[in-house]
Amino acid sequence: MNRMEEINKRKAEIRALLESDKEADLDALEKELRELDDEQAKLEKRAAVAAGIQEGSIPSAKVEAPKDETRTAKYDSEEYRTAFMEYVCRGKELPLEFRADATTATTDIGALVPPVTLNKIVEKIEAYGMILPLVNRTAYKTGMYIPVASIKPTASWSAEGAGSDKQKLPLDAAITFGHFKLRCAVSITLETSEMDGDTLLALRDEVSGLVDELSGPVEIEKGCNMVMSGDYQGGKSVLSEYRDGKYAEWWPLWYYLGVAESALGNSSEAIEAYKKVLTLSPSNTDAMEELASIYALTGDEENAAKYREKIHIIKDNVYGDA
């Protein structure tokens, strides 16, 4: 069965479907009929053309031999490109036929550089000119005074060959990259310097105690930042130093220990740390979510569901009336 027979058969099927099925999709059937009609018309036209060529009533197209076209553009010739290369590379003047003692106008711009070379130049500009404008060139030494142009020139129309007024470029603004020293100086009075040894020792111990009190929170913050930046082993090592002592009551210490242990694959240690968080901060939903996630991953769906329910209750109490 050829394609024409298939088309006629399908048309008959569509006609029967339209007569028998009142629920048929008329739009779809109409679209299909149009497509079949278009295809049938093309096949009939192709068959008619083929038959006409066979009978000789339609002449076949005659393919002419390509013509030997000679370049007539003076500036696109091999001779001009060679002369231009000699001029650029060796300073040899262009032959007289390729230059004229006249003023260059806008209509002559394409003749200054051979078209083939000009196209290559534009191609290179496009290839190499995309990166430099995106680079911020700010590698300046400190202490430099760098002028910044703040000109807002006014453009004006002018005819070819005519000029325009020159505008002054003010450099009345500048950027200075300064440099500073971080310095801390301690001053004592003459009376303090004359204190006895025991008094000075007590003062020193007091200052040392204040510094020690600051060093703990600073180190804990450092460990937390290491965990947040992905250095789980390093953050764990720093935070573990403060598991015992007065900072052991800080729930963020245990929370980020739990994050580190979980990331390192230590589920039991992570669960212990998150439960310590809930001991210190009973409504901490972040710790509950981490516990639910760990229990779900380890297959303990009962505990996972328990913590999800706790989260739901806490959030309902907090946001229920919002």
Residue 301 pLDDT > 60, yes or no?
yes
**Cα separation of 174 and 43, whole Å?**
77
Mean pLDDT of 62-90: 70
Determine phi and psi for 278, rounding to 5 degrees. Answer: -70, -25
Residue 303 lies in a domain: yes
Arithmetic mean of pLDDT over the chain: 75
Complete DSSP assignment for 195-253: S-HHHHHHHHHHHHHHHHHHHHHHHHHHHHHHHHTT-HHHHHHHHHTTSSSGGGG-HHH
Mean pLDDT of 44-63: 72
Domain that holds residue 231: 223-319
More confident residue, 191 or 156: 156
Q: What does the pLDDT read at residue 70?
A: 47
Residue 62 lies in a domain: no
Number of folded domains in the chain? 2
Q: What does the pLDDT read at residue 13?
A: 85
Q: Which of 116-130, 170-184, 218-232 has the highest mean pLDDT?
A: 218-232
Q: What does the pLDDT read at residue 266?
A: 92
**Six token digits for residue 8:** 């006629």
Determine phi and psi for 152, rounding to 5 degrees. Answer: -130, 80
User: What 3-state DSSP class applies to 148?
Assistant: strand
More confident residue, 258 or 150: 258
* Per-residue b or e along 248-287, where b marks 16 or more CB atoms closer than 10 Å to that residue's CB: eebebbbbbbbbbbbeeebeebbbebbebbbebbeebbeb
Strand partners, 196: none
User: What 3-state DSSP class applies to 166?
Assistant: coil
Residue 52 lies in a domain: no
Q: What is the pTM of this model?
A: 0.38
pLDDT band at 175 (very low <50, low <70, confident <90, very high): low
194-242 pLDDT, tens digit per residue, is 655 566 566 666 666 666 666 778 888 888 888 888 899 999 999 998 8
**Cα separation of 226 and 219, whole Å?**
11
More confident residue, 308 or 138: 308
Q: What does the pLDDT read at residue 256?
A: 92
Residue 142 lies in a domain: no
Nearest to 111 by CA among 94, 126, 124: 94
Residue 322 pLDDT > 50, yes or no?
no
**Cα separation of 258 and 264, whole Å?**
10
**Cα separation of 248 and 222, whole Å?**
16
More confident residue, 67 or 201: 201
124-136 pLDDT, tens digit per residue, is 555 555 555 565 6
pLDDT band at 71 (very low <50, low <70, confident <90, very high): very low
Q: What does the pLDDT read at residue 33?
A: 83
Residue 257 lies in a domain: yes
Q: What does the pLDDT read at residue 97?
A: 75
Residue 172 pLDDT > 90, yes or no?
no
